[in-house]
Amino acid sequence: MAATTDTDHTEHTDAPGSRPPAARRRRMGRIATAVSFFGELLITGGLVLGLFVVYSLWWTNVVADRAADQQADKVRDHWTHESDGGGPVTFDSKDGIGFLHVPAMSKDEILVEKGTSMKVLNDGVAGYYTDPVKATLPTSGKKGNFSLAAHRDGHGAKFHNIDKIRKGDPIVFETKDEWYVYKVYGILPETSKYNVQVLSQVPKESGRKKAGHYITLTTCTPVYTSRYRYIVWGELERVEKVDEERTPPKELR
């Protein structure tokens, strides 16, 4: 018989103070469950965030464009009705006062309504300021600043490509009876949202010192934020009467 050694009688036990294998498995199981739960939370949060982005940047555009189109149809129906002898229609109607055309920014016409509240702008239109500085409507014939605002992202995003506008580009405002043709002369890529001086009747920050017939476009910047404001200024070059065919000015052809 072979001689025995100490090794033959040694029991394989865990080191003093160590957890038994079953306890370690339970602990690792709890950690795995917690990690899995946390991972599911992250996935769910990511899906919710993704859906919110889709809603904000796509679906609100769909809804707003639909509402703007319906309002635009009402405005043109009013104009046609009045032209056919159906009676006068108040220029400053609840449906809209006219259409903005900015070829460098968009090929689509933009309905203009009164006010710059979210209730107005969320319908995919541009609104003229009534507060804190009251806009001067071009139809009044008075010198002043026809100041407008619209969303840059979501809710129609009518001013999304405002940064495509360059000095010398045309801005045309269409009413029932006239085309008001402006020419861009000043651009301010970034300013405080509290800078109401850009809306002044004489927008001195644009370089103008005397009263004139101005137009100002304002929207949020940078894209997808509302931290600052982007400003574009134009000055009236001429007014054209609308003919029977409603032929647009050469700048829009």
CATH (domain of 187): 2.40.260.10
What 3-state DSSP class applies to 3?
A: coil
d(CA 155, CA 7) in angstroms, rounded, equals: 81
Q: Round to whole Å and give the CA distance between 38 and 73.
A: 51
pLDDT at 113: 96
pLDDT value, residue 3: 44
pLDDT score for 82: 75
23 in a structural domain: no
96 close to 125: Cβ distance less than 8 angstroms: yes
- Indicate whether 116 belongs to any domain: yes
Any domain includes 45: no
Give a yes or no: residue 30 inside a domain. no
- Per the structure, how many domains does the chain have? 1
Longest dimension (CA), the chain: 128
Full-model pTM: 0.78
Q: Tell me if residue 220 is catalytic.
A: yes
28 in a structural domain: no
Q: Could you tell me if residue 166 is inside a domain? A: yes
Residue 43 lies in a domain: no
Run of H or E residues at 70: helix 60-83
Range of the domain at 218: 57-252
From CA 158, how far away is CA 108, in angstroms rounded? Answer: 9
Marked catalytic residue, from 162, 171, 220, 236? 220
Query: What pLDDT is recorded for position 80?
Result: 87
pLDDT in tens, the chain (253 residues): 444 444 444 444 445 555 566 666 666 666 666 666 666 655 665 555 554 454 456 788 888 999 999 999 999 998 988 766 554 444 455 679 999 999 999 999 999 999 999 999 999 999 999 999 999 999 999 999 999 999 999 999 999 999 999 999 999 999 999 999 999 999 999 999 999 999 999 999 999 999 999 999 999 999 989 999 999 999 999 999 999 999 999 999 9
| 26 lies in some domain | no
